[in-house]
Amino acid sequence: MATMKAVRIHEYGGPEVLRLEDAPIPVPAAGEVLIRVHAAGINPVDWKIREGRLRGRVEHHLPLVLGWDVAGVIEALGPGVTLFKIGDAVYARPDIARDGGYAEYIAVRASEVALKPKSLDFIHAAAVPLAGLTAWQALFDAAKLAAGQSILIHAGAGGVGSHAVQFAHWKGARVIATASARNTDLVRSLGADQVIDYTQVRFEDETRDLDVVFDTVGEEVQQRSWKVLKKGGILVSILALAVPDDAAARGLRSAYVFVQPNAAQLGQIAELIDGGHVKPVVETVLPLSEVRRAHELSQSRHARGKIVLRVADYS
C-alpha cells in the first residue's frame, strides 16, 4: 500500500499526541478527488478535536488526521467527477468528520472543493476556506448583513475576524472591530471604520445601537455584547451561545454558526480575493514537522491572522 507523511492522533490529549508518521494514501471514492496538499491552515477546531472536546458532536475514528483547511493540486479523480481535472489548483474546507489535511494527500468530496484564487499562492489560499466560510455564513446566511447596517466584530485581527471585517466592508456596512493595540492599524487597513482597543476600554462604552454583533470570543465578552444591540438586532456566535432570558422581550435575536463546507461560497470568496476586495492575513508559516508548535501558537489565542503549515515540503 502506498504511503504518505501525515500528522495523526492515536489518542486525545495535548500537543504531544500529534505524530508525524507514515499513513496510507487515501483512494478517492465515487464523487471524490484526491488532492496533493501543498498547505494546510491551523484553526481552533483542530486542537479542540485533538483534546477530545467535540466528542459527541462530531464522530471520529482514531487514528485521525487533523486539519480542515487545505490548498493543493488535484492528483486523481474518483468515478463520476467531471467538474475538475487532474492538475487543477484548488482549495477546500473538507468534511470535519473525516480525515483532514495535515498530510501529503487528502480525499475530498468534489462538492466541497473550489478552484483556488488565482492571485494567491498555496500558503495564503490554505488560510481562507474555514475562516472565510465561517465569516461568510455568519454575516450573510445568519445575520443577513446588508449595506448601511452597523456591525461589531470581535477579535478583528484573528483568522475569522479578519475575513469578517473585509466581507462587511465590501458589503457596505459600518464596521466596528475589537483588537489589541498592536493590531489596530492592521484591522483598520482591512476596512474597519472604528477599532476599539479592548485592552484599554470596554467596547460597550464606545458603541451602541448596532444591527449585528459577530462573536468569536464567547463567555463574558458575549454577555456584554447584548448591551450594544438595538431592538431587532442579532448576535451571531461561533461559540457556545448563551441567550439572556429577556433577549426576546427586548426584541433581540441570536444565531449560532458551525461552519459547513460550501464550494459555491468558496467560489464567491475567490472572486472577491482576485478582485482585490479581500486578502487573507497569514502571520506564521511552519513546516508540517512543527505542527506541535503551530497548535501551541493557536491555543495562545493571540495569533494575528492565520497560522499555516507548509505540507509539500514537510521537513
**Could you read off the pLDDT of 211-254 as tens digits, one per residue?**
999 999 989 999 999 999 999 999 999 998 999 998 999 999 99
Q: Are 219 and 198 in contact (CB under 8 A)?
A: no
From residue 215, alpha-carbon distances to 90, 95, 138, 155 in Å are: 30, 23, 10, 8
What is the average pLDDT value for the chain, to the nearest integer? 95
Residue 313 has pLDDT above 90, yes or no: no
* pLDDT computed for residue 315 by the predictor: 42
pLDDT tens, position by position, 41-76: 999 999 999 999 988 888 899 999 999 999 999 999
* pLDDT computed for residue 314 by the predictor: 58
Percent of the chain with pLDDT over 70: 99
Tell me the one-letter amino acid at 107.
A
Q: How confident is the model at residue 134 (pLDDT cuts 50, 70, 90)?
A: very high
* pLDDT computed for residue 301 by the predictor: 73
pLDDT tens, position by position, 69-84: 999 999 999 999 999 9
Alpha helices in 107-199 (DSSP H): 122-125, 129-136, 159-171, 184-189
Percent of the chain with pLDDT over 90: 92
pLDDT tens, position by position, 250-267: 999 999 999 999 999 999
Residues in the chain: 315
pLDDT tens, position by position, 201-218: 999 999 999 999 999 998
Q: How confident is the model at residue 300 (pLDDT cuts 50, 70, 90)?
A: confident
From residue 32, alpha-carbon distances to 57, 69, 70 in Å are: 24, 17, 15
